[in-house]
Amino acid sequence: MDIASSIKKYKNSVTRKYISLSNDEIDVVTKGDYWFSRKYDGQLWFYCKSNKNSKIINSNENDISTLISNIKKELDKKLSKTKNIILAGELYYYLTKERERYGDTISGLGDKSKRKNLRLGVFDIVISDKLLSSFEEKYKFLKKNLGENSKDLSHVLEHKQIKHSDKKKHFNEIAIKNNPQGLI
């Protein structure tokens, strides 16, 4: 498994296609059903496991596994039965009453006393040894193996499958009402 090229390919083919839309622009979304999730204000990192070796890296192959070893260990445990997998996730700083901020993530990585508040919210599977052909199958796998509890160091980010006719309602509920960074 070539981890670096898989991550770069994923970044170029998936995350670069994300677009930012305001409330006024949500009507331009084409017909169809969509998976929506809240956008967390953090950094994109990848949990990579090949055989018994694992690490958490970004697309430049910077490895922060030792900095956030507690997150890596938790993922290793949760995915102990999985041989090869790459997960895409948002590393963010968990706050109970306010929304997370990118600067807090940077601060958390730099300050050992703040690292206990870092979380990896997983939102996709880049590669897996298990054949998962649709996002729905990937999401079910992630929910079953990682859980959705944001108090866990690693968890799947909540997603909702939304019909085109309900997109405005859910946009308002997720992207306006709760003051996140946005919606994906």
| pLDDT tens readout for residues 123-165 | 999 999 988 989 999 999 999 999 999 889 999 999 888 887 7
What percentage of the chain carries pLDDT values higher than 90?
Answer: 58
Give the type of residue at 36. Answer: F
What percentage of the chain carries pLDDT values higher than 70?
Answer: 90
What per-residue confidence (pLDDT) applies to 177? 63
Q: Tell me the average pLDDT across 60-78.
A: 97
Cα–Cα nearest to 109, from 66, 59, 148, 60: 66
Residue 77 neighbours by CB distance under 10 Å: 9
19 vs 55, higher pLDDT? 55
What per-residue confidence (pLDDT) applies to 146? 98
What per-residue confidence (pLDDT) applies to 29? 72
What per-residue confidence (pLDDT) applies to 179? 61
41 CB-near residues (< 8 Å, 6+ apart): 92, 99, 100, 101, 102, 105, 180, 181
